[in-house]
Amino acid sequence: MNSPLPMTGVDWTALRNFAALHGQLRISLTPKCNEKCWFCHNEGDVPPPSTHLHRDARPREREMNADDILNVVAVLMDAGLKRVYFTGREPLLSPLARPVLTRLPEHGADATYTLITNGTLIRTHQDWLATTALDKVKVSLHYFSDESLKAIANTRIGIATILDGIEAARETFERVEINTLVQRENEHELHDILDFALTRRMPVQFIELVDTDFNAARKGSAVGAQAIINHLRTLTSDEETELSGVGQGRRIFRVDGIEIDVIHRELGRHHVGQCGTCPVKPQCVEGFWSLRVDHAGGIQPCLLRDDLRMDIRPLLTTPHRIPATVAQHVSAFTEGTL
Ligand SMILES: C[S@@+](CC[C@H](N)C(=O)[O-])C[C@H]1O[C@@H](n2cnc3c(N)ncnc32)[C@H](O)[C@@H]1O
């Protein structure tokens, strides 16, 4: 793992720019979940409604073990990526969760490890989660009642389990944040979710729907963030707009010192370079803000471009070669020559 990166003949510029603009490394540990959120893009794997409707639309099988994932994380962090997110559908359902998260390599002060979870299994796994080097846990809370939970996530799990999971996370980690996708099904509960978070001094990120083909039928559920922005403006005058970096622009509010972020489509999106001549650029909502690694050994720069998923399985026995290969892929993507 300590062998020098092969520097010759590799154009590192695009990967370094992506890292410098705070691009994320997202590791999807599993395409399985105990919820079936109607909007879930499953980090690029088969989304839940499709698995349900089409029996042959199976998510990818796991091809990487915990050591492979830890190696990929280590070499890509060495290559400059600093914001690492463990996600999936539900990462805590994956047999990889414990062996990966309890053995995360040490990182410098400028890096972070974040777990993104629906919160249902935090209490169950609290003991070993407490031993991990995770810096932050981000819990999805798109609902605040059993009714909206059922309407959004089509599950029999009750809201009490999720709220207790958030309490378990707060007992275990210093930084716990809430992530809420604004939609018609939770419009009436957004103030409750915000109050719940503010009372506990937890930051919240409100996000808007990223529409992909599979959730097009429920496009009417995408209500946009203007109403919650208007409400936040009644609570604070401390508002900034962040347009730099990668991904979508956001409005940052501070209420009693707690940061409330709103990803707002109106602010536009930010591409690394120009994303070259990407044919789906007109439909692209997010820009290129994350390198997505999946449990089947793929790395993909962008949710809308399955065709750009690179197979890194042949490199798993020589992980030091992964960064150069990824750098070349990202360069080709941003130059539009892929
Ligand atoms: C894909 S889930 C994975 C982790 C975990 N199961 C959870 O619920 O947090 C993580 C987050 O991705 C976001 N997400 C998924 N599909 C989305 C979409 N179509 N548009 C916007 N955000 C989406 C949601 O904010 C969701 O909470």
Q: Confirm whether 176 is domain-assigned.
A: no
Ligand 1: atom nearest CA of 209 is 20
CA-to-CA separations, 193 to 60, 95, 138, 151, in angstroms, rounded? 34, 31, 14, 16
Q: Is 205 in the pocket of ligand 1 (CB under 6 A)?
A: no
Q: Among 28, 29, 37, which residue has the most ligand 1 atoms within 8 Å of its CB, making it the best to mutate?
A: 37
pLDDT tens sequence across 309-322? 999 999 999 999 99
Whole-angstrom distance, CA of residue 238 vs CA of residue 254: 5
Q: Confirm whether 311 is domain-assigned.
A: yes
Q: Confirm whether 178 is domain-assigned.
A: no
Which carries the bigger pLDDT value, residue 38 or residue 48? 38
Q: Tell me, in angstroms, the distance from the centre of ligand 1 to residue 10's CA.
A: 34
pLDDT tens sequence across 181-221? 999 999 999 999 999 999 999 999 999 988 777 777 787 88
pLDDT tens sequence across 127-183? 999 999 999 999 999 999 999 999 999 999 999 999 999 999 999 999 999 999 999
Q: Is 117 in the pocket of ligand 1 (CB under 6 A)?
A: yes
* DSSP-derived secondary structure letter, 189: G
Q: Confirm whether 2 is domain-assigned.
A: no
Residue nearest to atom 5 of ligand 1 (CA): 117
CB 255 within 8 A of CB 236: yes
Residue nearest to atom 26 of ligand 1 (CA): 140
Q: Is 116 in the pocket of ligand 1 (CB under 6 A)?
A: yes
Q: Confirm whether 177 is domain-assigned.
A: no
Q: Confirm whether 205 is domain-assigned.
A: no
CA-to-CA separations, 35 to 137, 277, 296, in angstroms, rounded? 18, 37, 21
Decide if pLDDT at 274 tops 80: no
Q: Among 29, 38, 40, which residue has the most ligand 1 atoms within 8 Å of its CB, making it the best to mutate?
A: 40
Q: Confirm whether 164 is domain-assigned.
A: yes
pLDDT band for position 269 (cuts 50, 70, 90):
low
Q: How many domains does the chain have?
A: 1
Q: Is 101 in the pocket of ligand 1 (CB under 6 A)?
A: no
Name the helix (H) or strand (E) containing 199: helix 190-199
- Select from 278, 258, 256, 254 the least CA-distant residue to 330: 278
Residue nearest to atom 8 of ligand 1 (CA): 118
Q: Tell me, in angstroms, the distance from the centre of ligand 1 to residue 33's CA.
A: 12
pLDDT at 196: 98
Domain that holds residue 46: 13-170+271-335
Determine how many CB atoms are found less than 10 A away from the CB of residue 313: 12
Angle between helices 146-153 and 159-172 (to 10 degrees): 90
Q: How high is the mean pLDDT of the chain?
A: 90
Q: Confirm whether 110 is domain-assigned.
A: yes
- Select from 89, 93, 211 the least CA-distant residue to 140: 89
Name the helix (H) or strand (E) containing 332: helix 322-335
pLDDT band for position 5 (cuts 50, 70, 90):
very low
Ligand 1: atom nearest CA of 181 is 25
pLDDT band for position 8 (cuts 50, 70, 90):
low
Q: Is 85 in the pocket of ligand 1 (CB under 6 A)?
A: no
Q: What is the CATH number for 60?
A: 3.20.20.70
Strand duo 250-255 + 258-263: pairing: antiparallel
Whole-angstrom distance, CA of residue 97 vs CA of residue 129: 10
Q: Tell me, in angstroms, the distance from the centre of ligand 1 to residue 40's CA.
A: 6
The pTM for the full model equals 0.93
Question: Cβ contacts of residue 68 below 8 Å, gap of 6+?
Answer: 297, 316, 319
